[in-house]
Amino acid sequence: MKNIESLIADGGNISMGAVFAVECAATAADNHNNTVAMLVRRDGETLNALLKRLDKAIGKFYDGDEIVDEINAE
């Protein structure tokens, strides 16, 4: 999970757990606490699979400044 490793090495952070009304989410923020990604755990999704999706979402941010936000998308 190279993108997660890079984010943390650059002073960013990730978090997993309840966010607002979402029972389980994975979030990532850069070293300035700006949102990089916010993912909602899917029914039946393992935590490992959620972390892999988070890694890909962080990669989208690094590649093109695209923020993946599944929490506020609705």
In a domain, 35, yes or no: yes
In a domain, 73, yes or no: no
In a domain, 74, yes or no: no
Contacts 24+ apart (CB under 8 A), 31-39: 35/67, 35/69, 36/7, 36/12, 36/61, 36/67, 37/61, 37/67, 37/68, 37/69, 38/68, 38/69, 38/70, 38/71, 38/72, 39/68, 39/70, 39/71
In a domain, 61, yes or no: yes
Domain containing residue 64: 2-68
State the pLDDT at residue 64.
95
* Residues of the chain below pLDDT 50: none
The total of structural domains in the chain comes to: 1
In a domain, 31, yes or no: yes
In a domain, 45, yes or no: yes
